Amino acid sequence: KDFVVFNLRSINNATKRRNLGFLSCGTGNPIDDCWRCDPDWEKNRKRLADCPIGFGKGAIGGRNGKFYIVTDPSDKDVVNPKPGTLRHAVIQKEPLWITFKRDMVIKLKAELIMNSFKTIDGRGRSVHIAGGPCITIQYVTNIIIHGINIHDCKQGGNMYIRDSPDHYGWRTLSDGDGVSIFGGSHIWIDHCSLSNCQDGLIDAIRGSTAITISNNYMTHHNKVMLLGHSDSYTQDKNMQVTIAFNHFGEGLVQRMPR
């Protein structure tokens, strides 16, 4: 496995920065300065896809697709998701850049199984995925998750769940991770807050690779981050993960990362 971990304090001192207001610019953080220095960033949201660093640099998410605006926080039917919901957005086959019409709390009925080439962009809104199962990135590629509050995630499953417009299948009980990456690649998780989930905050296992985890704020949790689930699973030797500019905050116990 190849892991690159940037020490935030040493970088801060080296560049003599820092002003961390939400729209601060010129901080020396190459990810933030890439898009925040544009005063019209809200009109140029897809510029974000040019900004990842490290092994997940190639993650383009939904850059080449249309915008999809989530208008409905409900998740009542996981086999036939309602248009306008986050679940309906993430299972589509085509690339999509997903934004939110307003602040919302999304309590998922089952794990949110994502399809490839999706960006979940929470900038400008207060979006929480909380109180139920959370995000699963399984055998898909090119995912960006930015600016989402993910917390109090629970186990879910033992039910049918749709993962694309033309397929749904039976899912056994999930682990209760905030973000579960299982055999995924080209993934970037940035500027999310994560806390108090049933299992891990972010787990990357089963040959997942080309991942950047950056600028996240993690608090109040036991098993924080797992990179590779077993020494005997040889495919994980190819795993490449960059961990940069994250805040490992109060109330954390272990796996920072393991």
What span, in angstroms and rounded, lies between the C-alpha atoms of 2 and 242? 8
Rg (CA), the chain: 17
Token pair for 246 = 């994250």
Sheet holding 149-151, edge to edge: 104-106, 127-130, 149-151, 193-195, 217-219, 247-248
Residues sharing a CB contact under 8 Å with residue 104, sequence separation 6 or more, in sequence order: 70, 73, 125, 126, 127, 128
Mean pLDDT of the region 36-40? 91
Q: Compare 232 and 120 and report the one with higher pLDDT.
A: 120
Whole-number pLDDT of residue 156:
93
Mean pLDDT of the chain: 91
Which position among 18, 47, 125, 255 bears the catalytic label?
A: 255
Tell whether 101 is covered by a domain: yes
pLDDT at site 18: 35
pLDDT at residue 4, as a whole number: 56
Separation of CA 254 from chain center: 20
Instruction: Specify the number of domains making up the chain.
Output: 1
Lowest mean pLDDT among 72-76, 108-112, 175-179, 254-258: 254-258
- Find the mean pLDDT for residues 178-197: 97
Q: Give pLDDT, residue 9.
A: 44
Query: How many Cβ atoms are within 10 Å of 238's Cβ, its own excluded?
Result: 12
In angstroms, the CA 187 to CA 184 distance is: 7
258, part of any domain:
no
Tell whether 106 is covered by a domain: yes
Strands 193-195 and 217-219: parallel
User: Does residue 92 form part of some domain?
Assistant: yes
Each residue's pLDDT tens digit, 224-240: 999 998 888 888 888 99
Q: How far is CA 232 from CA 197, 210, 228, 237, 254, in A?
A: 26, 21, 10, 10, 22
Average pLDDT over residues 95-115: 97
The per-residue pLDDT for 67 is: 98
Q: What percent of the chain has pLDDT over 70?
A: 91
CATH of the domain at 244: 2.160.20.10
H or E stretch covering 8: helix 8-15
Element (H, E) at 22: none
Q: Is 206 marked active-site?
A: no
Mean pLDDT, residues 18-28: 61
Domain membership of residue 256 (yes or no) is: no
- The average pLDDT across 15-26 equals 51
pLDDT at 8 over 70: no
In a domain, 230, yes or no: yes
Q: Name residue 69's amino acid.
A: I
Q: Whole domain around residue 153: which residue ranges?
A: 2-251
In this prediction, residue 10 carries a pLDDT of 39
257 lies in some domain: no
Q: Which two tokens stand for residue 105?
A: 């709390």
Mention every residue, 6+ apart, whose C-beta is less than 8 A from residue 170: 159, 160
Span 163-188, average pLDDT: 96
Give 215 or 1, the one with higher predicted confidence: 215
